[in-house]
Amino acid sequence: MEDAYKTITNISKATYTEKRSKFIAYAIPIQTVEEAKAEIDKLRKEYYDARHVCWAYMLGADRLEFRANDDGEPSGTAGKPILGQINSNKLTNILIAVIRYFGGIKLGTSGLIVAYREAAAEAIAEADIIEKTVDLQISFGFEYPFMNDVMKVVKDLEPSILKQSYEMDCLMTLEIRKAKFDELKNRLEKIESLRFIE
């Protein structure tokens, strides 16, 4: 599994027009399928008079959870090109919804594919894209005389210290990128008196 992924920080909006059909695209940051459904419902209410609300979403750092929906457009002409834009930008934890107002001129399947793809691409272009890391946490206790050994590991591997308390028995919670987690754990295991806390 990758230990870094790209997502968006804000809701962005773009409008694309093709032969009088108007495509309003939203890129929305989401964390769950429930959030995606709630956002789609919100857009359906707001654009109740639109003919189609087509969408695609992708979730998870490994980008394995995704869905696309044509909402009545010919199969593969809307959801798929929207999802294609999410993929080509390597984004996740994102929903892109494209609302279409029909302009009276049929676009044909290739015209629809281009229009939905362009609308999605423009919404992504308007968004702030950031890279996030997949971080894991580890908590442990140790006796005070072994503080220097623990701090040497912390200095070498540079995890974030989330919690620490130094009494007779010291406690610490660290957070580190997934790729370095095993190395951190292995080095801590070698320290005398140290025990991991679930």
Reply yes or no on whether the pLDDT at 70 is more than 80. Answer: yes
For residue 99, the 8-state DSSP code is E
> What gap in Å lies between CA 105 and CA 139, rounded to an integer?
62
pLDDT in tens, 3-42: 789 999 999 999 999 899 899 999 999 999 999 999 999 9
What are the structural domains of the chain? 4-132 (3.30.230.30), 134-196 (3.30.70.240)
Q: Give residue 109's pLDDT.
A: 87
For residue 61, report the phi and psi dihedrals to the nearest 5 degrees: -60, -30
59: its two tokens = 């979730």
Could you tell me which residues are beta bridge partners of residue 69?
55
Residue 89 pLDDT grade (very low, low, confident, very high; cuts 50, 70, 90) = very high
* This prediction's pTM: 0.78
Residue 101 pLDDT grade (very low, low, confident, very high; cuts 50, 70, 90) = very high
Q: Give residue 193's pLDDT.
A: 85
The predicted model gives 73-86 an average pLDDT of 94
Could you tell me which residues are beta bridge partners of residue 187?
none
> What gap in Å lies between CA 34 and CA 57, rounded to an integer?
11
Residue 82 pLDDT grade (very low, low, confident, very high; cuts 50, 70, 90) = very high
Could you tell me which residues are beta bridge partners of residue 172?
140, 164
Mean pLDDT of the chain: 91
* β pairing state of 65-69 and 52-59: antiparallel
